[in-house]
Amino acid sequence: MRGSHVTTLPKWQYWLKYYFYKFVTKRSIVHATRVLVPSKTVKETVITFYPTAANKITVTQEGVSATFLSKRKPTYNWQKRKKTGLLYVGSLYPHKNISLILEALQKLPEATLTIVGSRSVFAQEVHALTETLG
């Protein structure tokens, strides 16, 4: 997402920052030996914008390997957890797609969502959307 609606910066400052972001990103990808990305989706997105980087990209899955987990005794009973509660921790900038989560929750009326984040102008928009969607 890009544009003045996804930022709290003045327009001129946003577009200057965006220009330098594009410049630095392209330069970095061109000169990189390897580009590490967290998922196949991100890999495909990078290739869409930088096709010549395809052979440089390595997907490094996020998370903890099953091998590590199997060596530890569980300290929490995951089977007894409340399965209808969701927790979102982070910013509410539009590119985080909180609206998609709220729309999906309409199909799960038993589910609840708790949002933890700092106040921002985007918090008001998310709150308004929750009111609209019920």
The CA distances from residue 35 to 45, 61, 62, 81, 89, in Å, are: 13, 13, 15, 38, 27
The predicted model scores a pTM of: 0.52
Digit-coded pLDDT (tens) for 25-49: 999 999 999 999 999 999 999 999 9
Q: Tell me the HSE value of 74 on the side-chain side, using a 13 A CA sphere.
A: 6
In sequence order, the 6+-apart residues with CB closer than 8 A to the CB of 43 are 37, 57, 59
Structure confidence at residue 55 (pLDDT): 96
Positions in the chain short of pLDDT 70: 68-82
The closest alpha carbon to 98, from 109, 83, 87, belongs to 87
In sequence order, the 6+-apart residues with CB closer than 8 A to the CB of 77 are none
CA distance 21 to 40: 22
Structure confidence at residue 69 (pLDDT): 67
Burial class (CB in 10 A: 0-12, 13-18, 19+), 85: exposed
Structure confidence at residue 27 (pLDDT): 95
CA distance 38 to 88: 19
